[in-house]
Amino acid sequence: MSRAEYVFRLSDGNDIPVCIATRRGLRNITLRPKTHPVREIHISKPWLVRDAAALNFLESKRKWIERTFARGPAKECVVPGMCLEYLGRRVTVLHDPAQYSNCVSQDGMRLVIGGAPDMFERRLCDVIKKELMSEIKRIIHTAPRDVWPRRIALRDTTSRWGSCSSTGTMSFSWRLAFAPHDVMRYVVMHELAHRRHMDHSAEFWATVSELYGFGVERAKRWLVVHGGELHKYF
């Protein structure tokens, strides 16, 4: 069972929680540093290896760990008054504790979040997710009806931007709200293509190109290079 009883202090002074799990049948110690959406180090060790030995092994890999977190996305706090880019527009986010509901200005350039200060981030996330869901549905409705999903869900996944089940349920990472619109559209069309081909065959990629149109490779490449940046908020 994993636990975060230890921390690994980076050279910049930041403490990274260390979760150690004992695995039966494992022969060697394995390390898995995570840079998003939370910064953690996961250690798996054989049954007879003590925690101290696992931590010593972690320390021996310090240079690699330091490089990994240095390359990872830095978290940026969202505070009232800052400009936040999502769904292809730049929005100034404000907070009014006397206001019960959330309010978007007519020009869409200002978003006022109401409620208690400790609910600011949660309510802001809810607004972004709601707008993202509406945009995903709009994009889906531009595609042929035979590839439409039966159900859509938003998730906070770390390794997949979207998925499509054999039953027709599609899930998307809500972090796509912070991606360029053409990149978000690529992910949607990618999953829609799975309604015809539940694999990554040549026929599947041909369908992705058919649904997306010109520029599909550029959008795909952007996600590979910059995808980690989509986790910098919250």
Residue 37 confidence (pLDDT): 64
List domains and CATH numbers for the chain: 6-71 (no CATH), 83-231 (3.30.2010.10)
- Taking the C-alpha atoms of residue 28 and residue 23, their distance in angstroms, rounded to an integer, is 10
Q: Which residue matches tokens 């709009």? A: 138
Half-sphere exposure of 181 (CA within 13 A, CB side): 8
The angle subtended at Cα 149 by Cα 144 and Cα 150, nearest 5°, is 130
Q: Which two tokens stand for residue 148?
A: 């439409």
Q: What is the CA radius of gyration of the chain?
A: 21
Which pTM does this prediction carry? 0.73
Q: H or E segment at 211?
A: helix 202-212
Q: pLDDT, tens digit, for every residue of 1-58?
A: 445 679 999 998 888 899 999 998 899 999 999 886 678 899 999 999 999 999 999 9
Q: pLDDT, tens digit, for every residue of 54-111?
A: 999 999 999 999 999 888 766 788 999 999 999 999 999 999 999 989 998 888 899 9
Residue 85's DSSP bridge partners are 90
- Taking the C-alpha atoms of residue 178 and residue 155, their distance in angstroms, rounded to an integer, is 14
- Mean pLDDT to the nearest integer, 109-123: 94
Quickly count: other Cβ atoms within 10 Å of residue 12's Cβ. Answer: 8
Q: pLDDT, tens digit, for every residue of 136-176?
A: 999 999 999 999 999 999 998 766 899 999 999 999 999 99
Q: Are 234 and 121 in contact (CB under 8 A)?
A: yes
